[in-house]
Amino acid sequence: MNTRIPAWYFVCFILITFISFSSYAFGAQVSPGAKEAQAAGPLASDQTSSERSLTADPVLKPADDAEYEKEFEFPEDEAFVSPVQVADPLEPLNRVIFQVNDKLYFWLLKPATQGYKFVIPGDFRLIVRNFFSNVLTPVRLVNCILQGKMKNAGTEVARFFVNSTIGILGFGDPGKQMFNMDISDEDLGQTLGRWGFGNGFYIVWPVIGSSTLRESAGFFGDLWVNPIGYLEPAAAAVSVGAYRRLNDLSFRIGEYEAIKAAAIEPYSAVRDGYIQFRNALVDR
């Protein structure tokens, strides 16, 4: 079986990583809408983290699942304190894509997710989430090592062994429930940040949503250690990845709506909240 990642992954990763060196030039600039967003106050709640949602823009935590917040240790108190500074030279284009993603969320993703949530019991959705979390261990493990967090790397190895055996292929999470081993939510975007790369400038990708040059490089780089990306045919990898996002989103329905309702200017609020959140993950 041919297990090579498609060549376009490699091309995109190299291209975005090369452009990311411009982050040192752009990282300290203030986006055109930053002052307006700062005047409105810090965002009260807002990607998945490195795990990035297929929502119009990322939301941070599920309203109906307190364990999700504990498991991934969202730095809520830290993420929305200091003002945001990020360049947004693509703002006109970003705003267009933001509106498209917004409509995609409300017209397609939200109804599909609500239907999925209505039909599939919460316990089963939790099992599915546990399984995918276990499958994605290589992403977290590699980035723990690259950041020098060897204790966390050891925990990831132990979690994988325990959850794959006692937890029956990762469908359960005895690593957390029995041995109190917390997940290390690390990705390449955070690794690049720890290495000193700035955010670069802000980007809104179709479907994926909020990102930056650094986070885009991290997204494509993580595909190399994401086992789902090695599924064949390619349509199978895309389908499985989309299902994982759908299942994750079922725990977070309502968060994006709350952000929009609380924001004076939704685009600026989502952008600045995303940057603050990702910066807090890098600094923790």
Classify residue 182: in a domain, yes or no. Answer: no
Q: Are 212 and 97 in contact (CB under 8 A)?
A: no
Classify residue 29: in a domain, yes or no. Answer: no
Q: Chunk the chain into consecutive blocks of 10 residues (it has 284) and report each block's average pLDDT, rounded to whole numbers.
A: 48 45 40 38 37 38 46 46 77 98 97 97 97 98 97 97 96 96 96 96 96 96 96 95 96 93 94 95 92
Classify residue 143: in a domain, yes or no. Answer: no
Tell whether pTM > 0.85.
no
Total domains in the chain come to 1
pLDDT at 6: 53
Classify residue 117: in a domain, yes or no. Answer: yes
**Is the peptide bond preceding residue 138 cis, with omega within 30 degrees of 0?**
no
Classify residue 159: in a domain, yes or no. Answer: no
pLDDT at 83: 56
Residue 167's SS3 state is coil
Classify residue 77: in a domain, yes or no. Answer: yes
Q: How far is CA 18 from CA 9, 15, 91, 218, 224, in A?
A: 14, 5, 21, 12, 17
Q: Are 29 and 87 in contact (CB under 8 A)?
A: yes
E strand residue ranges, the chain: 202-205, 209-212
Classify residue 156: in a domain, yes or no. Answer: no
Name the token pair of 196.
């000193």
Classify residue 233: in a domain, yes or no. Answer: yes
What is the residue range of 120's domain? 41-59+72-126+187-222+229-283
